[in-house]
Amino acid sequence: MANPNEHLVDWLRDAYAMEKQAESMLKAQSSRLENYPELRQRIDQHLQETLGQQTLLEGCLDRLGSSPSAMKDLTGRIAAFGQAVGGMTMTDEVVKGAMSGYIFEQTEVASYTALIAAARGAGDTETVRCCEQILPQEIEMARWLLEHLPGIVTAYMSRSAEGRDDAKR
């Protein structure tokens, strides 16, 4: 048995680890992207949003008398590193990166939707407010990536067909 606050704290810590992973992935993608400036700019914007989200989550955990989990945090970073390294070996890195980014954002959308319900269940209006502030940023990033994916694929294919070495990233 666990009381509503215990679930809420647990899921807030999951969300914090997820945002640490997001930070690592976005930084890795941004640092490697050279020839897709619009995508890079959007990633940098979301990186700033992600850092703000971490601060909001830290505040929620702090109010609940908890703190981010070092262990979950570490696991997230190792996974992000693996993904970043994996992406670097692919010639279609920019396409795979945009697709992975979209999937990750949708995971975040589901997480915050669940967290809002959990916070409501626990009667924690401040956490509801924080998560309702974060959720639209994730929805918007997912929407942007999906909307721009066809253009990224088209640019990649035409550059690749010309044998240009700026296609990959």
Q: Which chain residues interact with Fe ion by CB under 5 A?
A: 108, 138
Q: Which is nearer to Fe ion, 110 or 117 (CB)?
A: 110
In Å, what is the CA distance from 125 to each residue of 49, 75, 114, 120? Answer: 22, 30, 14, 7
Q: Which is nearer to Fe ion, 140 or 160 (CB)?
A: 140
CB of 142 to Fe ion, least distance (A): 8
Angle value at C-alpha 144, between 160 and 20, nearest 5 degrees: 95
CB of 146 to Fe ion, least distance (A): 14
CB of 46 to Fe ion, least distance (A): 6
Spatial separation of the C-alpha atoms in residues 138 and 148, rounded to whole Å: 15
CB of 26 to Fe ion, least distance (A): 8
Within 13 Å and on the Cβ side, how many CA atoms surround 28?
Answer: 24
Q: Which is nearer to Fe ion, 108 or 124 (CB)?
A: 108
CB of 158 to Fe ion, least distance (A): 29
Spatial separation of the C-alpha atoms in residues 51 and 48, rounded to whole Å: 5
Contact 100, 164 (CB under 8 A): no
Q: Which is nearer to Fe ion, 22 or 155 (CB)?
A: 22
Q: Which is nearer to Fe ion, 4 or 14 (CB)?
A: 14
Smallest CA-to-CA distance from 22 within 49, 50, 44, 42 is with 50
DSSP classification of residue 68: -
